[in-house]
Structure 1
Amino acid sequence: MDTGNIIRPLILEESSNDAETLASNLRNAGFAVRYRHIDNNEDLQSALDEQAWDILLATSQVGDYRALDAVATIKRVGKDIPCIVFGPQTDNDSIVAILKAGAADYINEEARDHLLLVIAREIDNLRERRSHRQCKNLYAESEKRNRVLLDSSRDPMAYLHEGMHVYVNQSYLDIFGYVDRDELESVPVMDMIAPDQQQKFKDILRTLSKGETPEGTQEFNVVHADGNEFQATMQFSPASVDGEPCTQIMIHQKSHDKELEKELQQLRQQDLLTGLFNHQHFMEELKTSLASAMVNEGHGTLLYLEPGDFKNIKDTLGIAGSDLVLADIAQLLRDNSPDDAILARYAGTVFTIILNNSNSAQAEQLAEQLRQALAEKIFDIEEKSVTTTFSIGIAPIHETTPDTKQALSRAEQACGIARERGGDQVHIFSEEDILAVLEADKKMVALLQLALKNNRFSLQYQPIVSLHAEPGERYEVLLRMLDPDNQLLMPGEFLDAAENAGLLIDIDRWVVRNAARALLDKRKLGKKLQFFIKLSSASLNDPGTLGSISKLLQAARLHGDSMVFEITEQAAVENLSTAKSFAAGLQQLHCKFALDHVGSTTQSLSYLNHLQVDFLKIDGSHIANVSNEDSQQVIQELAELGRNKGFQTIAEHVQDPACLAVLWQHGVNFIQGYYLQHPEDDMDYDFSSTGG
């Protein structure tokens, strides 16, 4: 073995002399050894906090401290340290138990040559894993650099082939006012040049096709997506994409200066409401933190913070007032967090913090400080006072954290445990939490699989009634599941487990099939109904969903407009390109398309410029607060938008008649909620009594 082969073992032995004897054997075998002797868990914890170690060599037991206890500690802190246990000859069942606990091998203490060979093997395997993580990190960094150079470049850039766009970066989309790349697929670049300058542009492309490159920059008037023209400078150069020759264009708006570009870059990273980092930039920072931990360059922690009972705050203050509370909470986080903490508004009312180069104890200390600060805070908004508290989950970021999804899932689960225990507390994610979550999900997934197999789902129906005597009978289709005692479970009790198990698409298709059967049964009785059917994001992103709907309509001989398929506003915004294609596919099938929970956040409605929707369901928070001026403004805006764009609006969660006058006055088309009828197994609502 190579004498420069340095290893850093932790040696669990009865005495320092025994540890030195083993180290001496390793040196004789060719290793340069930098070891530490331990004989209890406190020693092990201290060693793990001090530096990185390569391997644990442990006698089966030292006093009351077992090798298996040391293996469990290493596993709990997430360190990639192989553990080799040695001891007296024992039976196979005992060896299997040791290996199941996480040890790499068990060696007879008399077989020292065997032990040395196993140590060499595990050190080689460890180096392979570290090399693999480093290569994975370097690859990710390379991909990231390419993305930075192209997609995230400050310079608007496009690649053209035969007059069409084959690639554009985000800055190019921004400067021309487009939302996603799909919109430019069918737009010839010539249509983006002012008509009086198109011949000049053609001449430059012709020059490039001859292998000549125009010198310097060229000035053009170009056309924005809204039809307005602006002045721009362009630089042209030959390039290739996938081996095909093409033209690279870099474009700048003449009025842009470096200071403005810097401000725009900051805006792309910033959540406008709170001033913290936005979701997209936070995910990039989390990837960076994981990559650093992956190659033993650092470790950190992730905090997931959620204010409690925020729906009540929204009901009390309205959306504008609750937004001021969120902005104040963001300032509280800034005031109480270290300067190097990465603070973000992750989604809705959820905040996240990355603490690089920190351990769980440091993260817990900060979390307790933030928890106490929010608990003592009183928010005074427009002569009303509200309070709230944090539920905070903490998840370590270390070399064995698989990916950003797992890191977030663990922090979110820890936050959920803090919330379930009453809120206003902090919980650190542990191995025990993994087992508890897996066990609960396992039971629920078993119920879900049984429900799919044995038809133990059921459908209920809630009427949707016209405020303006529009004919027709419409129902929302709502899913329920029977538990082993034949009690109904609501979707909130099982959909998370269904999502984690990848069952949402199967469940959605069960709903659509059984809704179709119900429609057919009613048609036999001479009734023509229209069903509103919710679909998950998983079904929205599944390429087979439209085909499945098409086959069902053909087999059942149902007309497409008997079904209205709903997705949430959030799903549409997060998957805008997919939602646009899905809506177009539904239109070809003559089905209708609806958005649910619209207006639940301060999300701009500009995304509706890119979607063809038939119905828009106004979020129930505005209906519950219809006397609030902000909610009335949202209702009016959505109703007017519907009239201008040709879609109809539905007020959901109508609980009493007090809001009907306001809804009718603003021109809302339909209502739905307990005021009309609770969800029922039968469709027996008397639409004639309401003029529907």
Structure 2
Amino acid sequence: MPDKHHDDSLQERLVRLRQAYFKDLPRKLQRIESGWERLSGTPVTGERLKDLRQQVHNLAGSSGTFEFPGLSRAAQELELMIGSVLDQETPLTKAQRDKLQGRMEALAQVARDTDPDETADKFVHNITEPLVGPEGSGLLFIVDDDPDVSGYLGQNLRAHGFEVRQLQTLKSLQEAVEEEHPAVILMDIIFPEGELAGVEAIAELRKSMENPPAVLFLSSRSDMIARLEAMRAGADAYLTKPVDIPTLVSKLSLLISPSAQAEPYRVLVVDDDRSQALYCAAILKKAGMLPEIITDPMTVMGILDTFVPDLILLDLYMPKVGGLELASVIRQREDLGDIPIVFLSGETDAEKRFAALSLGADDFLTKPITPPHLVSAVRNRILRSRAMQAKLKLLARQDRLTGLYNRDYLLSQLERIVDQVVAGGLGRALVYLSIDNFKELSARLGMRGGDRVVAGVAEQVRRAARAGDLLGRYSGASFIVALRSPDLDAARIWADGLRAQVERNIMDTGPQSVSVTVSLGIVGLGSTVPDAATAVMQANQACHTAQELGGNRVQVYQATEGVSLRADAEQGWVKRVEAALNEDGLRLVYQPIVNLHGEQAPFYEIFVRLLDEEGAEVPAARFIPVAERNGLMPRVDRWVLQHAVRAAAGQHRNGNPVRLFVTLSATTVGDTGLLAWVADILKEARLPNEALVIQCSARDAEDRLKPARELIDGLHDLGVATGLSHFGGGGAPLSLLNHLNPDYIKFDQQLVRESLAESRPGATLRELISTTRALGKQSIVPFVEEAATLATLWSCGVDYVQGYFVQGPDAHPDYDFVSATL
């Protein structure tokens, strides 16, 4: 079975590498002990102590890489002690000898007590399949004098599609770059030549190369000096050992992108003053960029069909069409929406400069401008734009929390598989997995605890997957796996094995450890399944059946099994929703939206609940999907809007000037009669139009772009504010703002979670907020459940938050905005 061998090859190679490393440990320790013994009876020189420190440093890094954490910590402690002695530059005292001897003995004892089997499972679990590899991977140089670390990294990166060359000396690096040009150099810092020898070598290399490669430093050093010197040497990224392979792959995927810096920056210079345009073009060309000059602004759109720039440098005042007007026209083109526009003008009036930025410009430079200033401003803006596009492209494929494919990319690949099957290709089995009772579990554990559960289950799914399987995160607590084999019995055995493994696993969620269960639905992908959506729906139905039967089980979808029962249940819900609409059996609940910067305006989001026979509330998740499937959402939306307006009017009359946020469904976004109806109910209720904010999801707006634009523009004409929810949940969110002009942006829950988990917490969110604020949008982050996230959200510039940490949905809009402190 060659596929099975291929599936196990990466894991087997790395396990063999670890076994060889452990077998060689006694020799490594003997070298360290021999080095120390040679120092014991003689005056200690700096060079001898540096040699010893180098050997200990290598042991600390390599043992951590191969998951021997105790040995790594003991080696790090010894390395730090040797380093402190070296820093003093004085002879070794007897007290220092005794302390070093104690550390040496402690290291030897830890080595003797190390059992490779204790951490073998964790090492295997950390081996990740190359699910989201780089596009257009280039050559990588791994420069590390420790062959064990170099070999481990090389094995992993080759499996992820990279071409790798391993080098162990600084001299070999110099020789290698003369033979071939790498895309990225992965560089250690400490070498026998010195504790910053790797940094110094890169600094010299960059001086001697006209087009130096990107450099990613990998080191066991995490101190400020090492990071600062690496930055000064031109580091593009810095990671500490032992490195997390998915993080490393993500970094490399951004450094090695189709828009690699070997391709010159393309700049379109638009200025009716030819001398000014030639001046800018000459400066940019000298800096290695590729400028294109246009002196007639009326020809810009035609030029943009053949010359796609990385940046447009635009004069503000030109004949026939001004710079502001031209920028607006350019922004109307969806394919040009992400290109940075920088104005270059002698205008110093602050209001006019602000007007330029509000139209979507990215920067405003003032004439006259010096060459260094122009080059720096253009280069930095393009660098940020390319980095953001590369990051968004990666995010468009990868789920940041789990490292698996995200929903959009997963479904696109699943559609391709289904098309192949329908065309006569080999069948497959589709498995839909959902964590049982996740909503209650997440409420108990908090956002971070819930994330750890999702990540833990994702790890179990990843480990169970085989080569050729397609897997990804479908929704918050659900995953999809398209197995290679079409055999449903084999799929059931596989799924049941995964179910049992998840049940046995105990996950650390921070304050407590928990075990969870999952339910799995299976459907065969054959000629009877027309498309991916149908396959997912059927597998989801089977999973839902498994959960209704108690959960923690596997269910195979059968087309005829339970069809009448499900149909009866569906019709029962339809009748309940219709009765609630006719008899006012729905209820509004209010969740406060609180400003993080001291404003006390009473903002609430409206949610709808259905009342059962006993008057208890039925969550929207139980009946809204039924209303959507059966064409009832326009009626539900109008009911909610009408009752929200009446409630707001009553609050205003009682001195509580609330502003209510109401969400429309996808169907209602295209309701051509909605605007006139909204105008009528606002007039009838005598409610100030600004008391209402009508929003829809970014995904629905993207799918119905024209009606969404007409709706938002029409609501603005009425004086009603608008919003986009689930912003950043997929695709290229900023492009949507080239077509729509909402007042409020409510960020997608998953994007926020992933951004808060970044190495620099909130970096992606901060950049998106900076961009949307420049466009005049206010930001809202929902689902805030912990105090720990508020400081980060505040530092990111978030305007408003909502969630259970503030207050859950309540029957009355009586939250105390004045006294409440977050």
Name the TM tier (shorter chain).
Answer: 0.5 to 0.7
Tell me which of 630, 633, 640 is aligned to 1:504: 633
Tell me which of 645, 661, 673 is aligned to 1:532: 661
Q: Give the equivalent residue in structure 2 for 1:461.
A: 590
Going from structure 1 to structure 2, the CA distance change for 1:385 and 1:575 (only over 3 Å counts) comes to: farther
Following superposition, the deviation at residue 689 of structure 1 comes to 3.8
**Distance in structure 2 (CA, Å) of the matches to 1:380 and 1:686:** 36
Q: Secondary structure at the match of 2:569?
A: helix
**Distance in structure 2 (CA, Å) of the matches to 1:474 and 1:290:** 51
Output aligned runs, 1:482-561, within 5 Å: 482-525=611-654, 528-546=657-675, 548-553=677-682, 556=685, 558-561=687-690
Following superposition, the deviation at residue 415 of structure 1 comes to 1.1
Going from structure 1 to structure 2, the CA distance change for 1:570 and 1:481 (only over 3 Å counts) comes to: same
Going from structure 1 to structure 2, the CA distance change for 1:550 and 1:361 (only over 3 Å counts) comes to: farther
Question: Letter of the aligned partner of 1:222 in structure 2?
Answer: F
Q: Is residue 783–residue 803 contact of structure 2 (8 Å, CA) maintained in 1?
A: yes
Deviations 1:436-483 (A, max 9, x none): 322222221110010111121121223334344436432222211111
Q: Give the equivalent residue in structure 2 for 1:683.
A: 813
Q: Is residue 292–residue 298 contact of structure 1 (8 Å, CA) maintained in 2?
A: no
Q: Is residue 282–residue 346 contact of structure 1 (8 Å, CA) maintained in 2?
A: no
Question: Letter of the aligned partner of 2:312 in structure 1?
Answer: G
Normalising by structure 2, what TM-score? 0.45
Question: Letter of the aligned partner of 2:412 in structure 1?
Answer: H
The answer to whether the aligner puts 1:358 opposite 2:486 as a matched pair is: yes
Q: Is residue 319–residue 631 contact of structure 1 (8 Å, CA) maintained in 2?
A: no
Tell me which of 726, 744, 747 is aligned to 1:615: 744
Tell me which of 552, 556, 581 is aligned to 1:428: 556
**Distance in structure 1 (CA, Å) of the matches to 2:702 and 2:639:** 26
Q: Is residue 303–residue 354 contact of structure 1 (8 Å, CA) maintained in 2?
A: yes
Question: Letter of the aligned partner of 2:620 in structure 1?
Answer: P
Tell me which of 200, 223, 230 is aligned to 2:308: 223
Q: Give the equivalent residue in structure 2 for 1:281.
A: 412
Following superposition, the deviation at residue 629 of structure 1 comes to 7.7
Q: Report the more deviating stretch, 589-598 or 399-408.
A: 399-408
Q: Is residue 315–residue 624 contact of structure 1 (8 Å, CA) maintained in 2?
A: no
Question: Letter of the aligned partner of 1:332 in structure 2?
Answer: R
Deviations 1:582-630 (A, max 9, x none): 444433333222234557x687754565443322345678699989986
Following superposition, the deviation at residue 686 of structure 1 comes to 4.5
Q: Give the equivalent residue in structure 2 for 1:416.
A: 544
Q: Secondary structure at the match of 2:561?
A: helix
Following superposition, the deviation at residue 327 of structure 1 comes to 6.5
Q: Is residue 460–residue 501 contact of structure 2 (8 Å, CA) maintained in 1?
A: no
Tell me which of 586, 606, 613 is aligned to 1:477: 606
Q: Secondary structure at the match of 1:595?
A: strand
Following superposition, the deviation at residue 490 of structure 1 comes to 1.8
Deviations 1:333-384 (A, max 9, x none): 53xx4x5555455455533344577343233233224434545567789999
Tell me which of 432, 436, 449 is aligned to 1:304: 432
Question: Letter of the aligned partner of 2:593 in structure 1?
Answer: I
**Distance in structure 1 (CA, Å) of the matches to 2:446 and 2:811:** 31
Q: Is residue 308–residue 390 contact of structure 1 (8 Å, CA) maintained in 2?
A: yes
Q: Give the equivalent residue in structure 1 for 2:422.
A: 291
Q: Give the equivalent residue in structure 1 for 2:265.
A: none
Q: Give the equivalent residue in structure 2 for 1:331.
A: 462
**Distance in structure 2 (CA, Å) of the matches to 1:678 and 1:607:** 33
Going from structure 1 to structure 2, the CA distance change for 1:646 and 1:691 (only over 3 Å counts) comes to: farther
Following superposition, the deviation at residue 299 of structure 1 comes to 5.8
**Distance in structure 2 (CA, Å) of the matches to 1:225 and 1:668:** 29
**Distance in structure 1 (CA, Å) of the matches to 2:432 and 2:805:** 37
**Distance in structure 1 (CA, Å) of the matches to 2:708 and 2:450:** 26
**Distance in structure 2 (CA, Å) of the matches to 1:225 and 1:268:** 21
**Distance in structure 1 (CA, Å) of the matches to 2:410 and 2:675:** 30
Question: Letter of the aligned partner of 2:644 in structure 1?
Answer: A
Q: Give the equivalent residue in structure 1 for 2:263.
A: none
Question: Letter of the aligned partner of 1:681 in structure 2?
Answer: A
Structure that is richer in strand per residue: 1
Deviations 1:186-240 (A, max 9, x none): xxxxxxx9875799x99xx9xxxxxxxxxxxx999613374389xxxxxxxxxxx
Q: Give the equivalent residue in structure 2 for 1:119.
A: none
Unmatched 5+ stretches in structure 2: 1-257, 260-289, 315-389
Tell me which of 417, 441, 444 is aligned to 2:570: 441
**Distance in structure 1 (CA, Å) of the matches to 2:817 and 2:544:** 42
Q: Is residue 620–residue 654 contact of structure 1 (8 Å, CA) maintained in 2?
A: no
Q: Is residue 394–residue 415 contact of structure 1 (8 Å, CA) maintained in 2?
A: yes
Going from structure 1 to structure 2, the CA distance change for 1:480 and 1:321 (only over 3 Å counts) comes to: closer
Q: Give the equivalent residue in structure 2 for 1:645.
A: 775
Q: Secondary structure at the match of 1:223?
A: coil
Q: Is residue 418–residue 427 contact of structure 1 (8 Å, CA) maintained in 2?
A: yes
Following superposition, the deviation at residue 571 of structure 1 comes to 4.3
**Distance in structure 2 (CA, Å) of the matches to 1:472 and 1:344:** 41
Question: Letter of the aligned partner of 2:624 in structure 1?
Answer: L
Q: Give the equivalent residue in structure 2 for 1:563.
A: 692
Output aligned runs, 1:189-200, within 5 Å: 196=293
Q: Is residue 318–residue 630 contact of structure 1 (8 Å, CA) maintained in 2?
A: no
Unmatched 5+ stretches in structure 1: 1-173, 176-192, 206-217, 230-262
**Distance in structure 1 (CA, Å) of the matches to 2:788 and 2:304:** 61
**Distance in structure 1 (CA, Å) of the matches to 2:455 and 2:480:** 18
Following superposition, the deviation at residue 645 of structure 1 comes to 3.4
Going from structure 1 to structure 2, the CA distance change for 1:532 and 1:267 (only over 3 Å counts) comes to: closer
